[in-house]
């Protein structure tokens, strides 16, 4: 009987520790997810912000810097995928105006990719000694990326563009532009907290 009591007590304590650890983990996950949700309120597209970043909540934790960094990485991944799609589309049968707009758009996206990579590099080097310089560079490059994306969509605004191609390209570029806008808002929010 004494051995059964010890075993049950040991089993109970082990179970209690496991349940406590699980509740702490659930609380941490909830806190991280809530942080992402509340940070997204500073963006122009909060729903897109939350859906794109909520899966990264455990990595972001409650850090505005990690939030901005994750937003840049997600934007870069989306821009890469869109650029690859545009390159594939540019080799399909397009009328001369579509082909020209597609070439211009691919160039604009190449600039966007470069600017986002530079911003991510600066985010990794961010330190208190040259914080303002790096932050200013990031804000400039992400703003430039947003301008490049808007320039790309303008090329497909004309009426003579093929309906399907126009809708596809504009839709993909708008997602990248919205992600970029959100990343810039999160960078600005991080700068306002830090500064």
Cα–Cα distance between 23 and 20 in angstroms, integer? 5
pLDDT of residue 13: 57
Q: Would you state the structure tokens that stand for residue 20, as one six-digit string?
A: 């406590």
Entry field: residues in the chain: 195
Cα–Cα distance between 155 and 151 in angstroms, integer? 7
pLDDT of residue 11: 62
pLDDT of residue 26: 45
pLDDT of residue 129: 77
Q: Would you state the structure tokens that stand for residue 129, as one six-digit string?
A: 């000694």
Q: Would you state the structure tokens that stand for residue 16, as one six-digit string?
A: 């209690």
| Segments of the chain with pLDDT less than 50 | 1-2, 4-5, 7, 23, 25-29
Q: Is the dihedral of CA 132, 138, 142, 143 positive or negative?
A: positive
pLDDT of residue 173: 92
Q: Which CATH class is domain 2-194?
A: mainly alpha
pLDDT of residue 155: 78
């Amino acid at each position: 009987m004494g051995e059964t009591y010890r075993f049950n007590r040991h089993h109970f304590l082990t179970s209690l520790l496991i349940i406590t650890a699980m509740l702490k983990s659930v609380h941490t996950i909830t806190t991280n997810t809530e942080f992402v949700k509340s940070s997204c309120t500073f963006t122009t597209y909060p729903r897109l912000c939350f859906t794109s970043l909520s899966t990264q909540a455990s990595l972001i934790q409650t850090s505005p810097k990690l939030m901005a960094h994750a937003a840049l990485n997600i934007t870069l991944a989306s821009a890469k995928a869109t650029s690859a799609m545009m390159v594939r589309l540019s080799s399909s049968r397009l009328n001369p105006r579509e082909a020209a707009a597609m070439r211009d758009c691919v160039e604009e996206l190449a600039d966007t990719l470069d600017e986002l990579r530079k911003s991510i590099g600066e985010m990794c080097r961010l330190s208190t000694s040259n914080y303002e310089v790096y932050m200013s560079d990031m804000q400039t490059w992400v703003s430039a990326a947003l301008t490049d994306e808007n320039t790309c969509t303008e090329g497909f605004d004309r009426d003579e563009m093929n309906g399907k191609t126009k809708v596809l390209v504009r839709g993909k570029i708008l997602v990248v532009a919205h992600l970029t806008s959100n990343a810039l808002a999160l960078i600005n929010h991080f700068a306002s907290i830090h500064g």
